[in-house]
Amino acid sequence: MNILVLNGPNLNMIGIREPEIYGSKTYQELELFLNNLAVDYHFNIEIKQSNLEGILIDLLQYANTRFDGVILNAGAFTHYSYALYDAIKSIQIPVIEVHLSDINSREEFRKISVIRPACKKSFMGEGFISYEKGIKYLLEEGAKS
């Protein structure tokens, strides 16, 4: 199975940005964690991060014919990007929404996920484990297909 992990705005700043919310582990540690999961669970992974909405849309469209699923942490775009919602709806592979923090217990505007209805499943509030749960879900669902 080929999985694309897409990280949105400011994810490259984890470990520096608000460690009381996002933890003290760095983005490089997240990439290492994800690459280790690929080895442990025997799947291919590509990891991308962008602070630009259009690049994330381009990557989702690119993934449609090259990957079996996408893990997406859209960052702040989660709360208002109908363009990302449309991009997710336009592709035929499953997209799993993930978040390091529990967006449902944060500021009111963060409780809204406009992309959630377009995503197959959501995992949040468990730091890096949110990603692992999303990947396991894709691997299990892909095995059923």
At a CB cut-off of 8 Å and minimum separation 6, what does 35 contact?
A: 45, 47
Using DSSP, state whether 75 is helix, strand or coil: helix
Measured CA to CA, the distance from residue 108 to residue 23 in angstroms comes to 21
Beta strands across the sheet bearing 69-73: 44-49, 2-7, 69-73, 95-99, 121-124
Measured CA to CA, the distance from residue 93 to residue 1 in angstroms comes to 12
- Tokens matching residue 137: 């879900």
**Catalytic residue set:** 22, 99
